[in-house]
Chain A
């Protein structure tokens, strides 16, 4: 909506993350492309095991890619921990489960000031002292007035307040981009709306770019400009949220939407089984063993059934024009 074409851009290009396990090599991420611009909220959705959290961790530099690159404003992320510090200041992560992510023995003040101290920013470049910076961050996260909260401990706060303290900790460093992993899944329905409204207002007032990792399609509909759907380590569909969620192209996205209680009027297509084990990524299209379009003959009728079973799909590239795309032989027939 209010994306800033000149603002900072965080990109993953062909990022793979492989882990060696006893069962063989697990491809947690298998060539994923994704872009988040300042002033834009992008939702990354998928089931557990789809690789969405691994992609988020790679984008903030916590997980090093086995292949591919993460770029901030076109500059690849350094690999040395020390060189990463300035990057980490600009791209902050907000963890899920605020009850577990805050140190129970740290006051709100210390939790928010910790990042400033780690980065040696307690005396801000703009002349604001630590206390002022903490107060500003808490206010920006909607905890106003901030001073009465300084000496509180996490157990004295409500779930919504704790989530705001975590967000304040990230905001204290004046980042340009936030990566939030399931920011509301541990919260009650009533608090959920408040935290989402906060993300929207941070985008408006600070021009922040936000990547929200979630399994909740209603959340994507509520706040995201763009939505990317992941399956087994890859982005399989991406585009403007209105198009992806109301006119899904990939059979996986279609199935996912059909079973969400928040969507009406679609015949539910309950897929059998679960996301396959990433040590055994199926050949051809990685979704083909569960694909309803292959099972009901639509792929056969379109003449792509053989390709679904045998021809791997290329990585879905970042669309320069912001178009809606899907990695599916039915959508873009091979050859």
Chain B
């Protein structure tokens, strides 16, 4: 049940294909994900960026089928080749923790306050590998704690006895307990100080590079994503609006929303950012009543009348340097689609 080589080398550990998720609420349907396609390979970090309510966390929970039972879902979520959305319960439980695990935001609220942290790390091991002896599980817990930079004796601590950084390390140890192929980290450092954030990020990237885990890293902080990710996808109103290599998306964002987002995090030492904070006026749209056409158009400084006509598709960008693909623009769900540099903006084709 643990991570045997179910994944062929080079095959994606996670493949999300045209995923739609709609929450059914008393106030009407909320389309939180509207056709998202992504993939992550082993040893690779995909950064997911966007404002609150853009669908980042909805995507994270749908990867492990943790969305509310009332929500409507379509599309495919393949974890090591198995479609999580259609798995039977027993098989799904095997995927949770062992195939893929989540590091949730806010470690204080995700840990059980009345259980020792060692017990909490041990729990998924006991559940997934019932054959292991208690002594062996305790040894695994000690190893995991050391792997995340905590003394093994901290297994006896309760969450309130640990600092924020230490609690986040415990969450990471839990996520690694069953040696998953995929780790989804949802804002793992948001509540932490800069120095502790740097410690946790260094730990995460060591784990990914060292063990070949695939990771989806969710953050509203583009500078964190830039430091950690191989590729970055920027989401807006339930869709990916730009995606590509991290340095390209953050250093030279093409979609006006991605550009505004990366401009909001100044580089210290950049004279252009002194006394010139850059923001983005307006608020994200209400998902219940999306405007016609491009949902970003009402906030976009480049918007033209054509933007309100149809929602732009996520298309490959012409890369100025290097040979352009002979096949020409492929559809967004094309076989090589999710790995190219893509953007969803009609104004890019015009310029």
Contact = CB atoms under 8 A, between A and B. Distances in A.
A191 interface: yes
A246 B269 CA distance: 6
Tier of interface size on chain A: 35 or more
Given A188-B220, A274-B165, A193 B264 contact: yes
Contacts of A223: 275, 277
A305 to B, nearest CB: 23
A215 B195 CA distance: 10
B265 A47 contact: no
A322 interface: no
B69 interface: no
B178 to A, nearest CB: 28
Contacts of B267: 218, 262-264
A335 interface: no
A48 interface: yes
A91 interface: no
A48 B194 CA distance: 9
Contacts of B221: 189, 261
A268 interface: yes
A260 B194 contact: yes
A222 B266 contact: yes
Interface residues of B, number: 40
B261 A222 contact: no
Interface string B97-120: 000000000000000000000000
A274 B196 contact: yes
B163 interface: yes
Contacts of B202: 268, 270
B26 interface: no
A113 interface: no
Interface in A229-253: 242, 245-246
Contact of B164 (A48, A160, A242, A255): A48
The binding surface of chain B is classed by DSSP as: loop
A270 to B, nearest CB: 5
Interface stretch (A22-30, A61-69, A132-140, A194-202): A194-202
Interface in B211-230: 220-224, 226-227
Q: Which of B194, B196, B260 has the most CB of A within 10 A?
A: B194
Interface string B44-74: 0000000110000000000000000000000
A256 interface: yes
Contact of A221 (B193, B197, B266): B266
Given A221-B273, A222-B273, A223-B275, A262 B265 contact: yes
A246 B51 CA distance: 30
Interface stretch (B131-139, B180-188, B278-286): B278-286
Given A188-B220, A197-B279, A222-B273, A271 B51 contact: no
B246 to A, nearest CB: 11
A222 B279 CA distance: 11
A192 interface: yes
A147 to B, nearest CB: 20
B275 A218 contact: no
A193 B226 CA distance: 19
Given A48-B164, A200-B277, A270-B202, A189 B194 contact: no
A183 B49 CA distance: 22
B319 interface: no
Nearest to B267: A262
B326 interface: no
Interface string A184-218: 00001111111111001000000000000001011
Interface string B220-250: 1111101100000000000000000000000
Enumerate the 10 nearest inter-chain pairs by beta-carbon distance, A residue then B residue, closest first: A193-B279, A261-B223, A259-B198, A190-B280, A196-B277, A189-B264, A47-B193, A194-B279, A222-B277, A188-B51
16 contacts: A1-B275, A47-B195, A188-B52, A189-B222, A193-B278, A194-B281, A218-B273, A221-B273, A222-B266, A256-B195, A261-B226, A261-B227, A263-B269, A270-B195, A274-B163, A274-B196
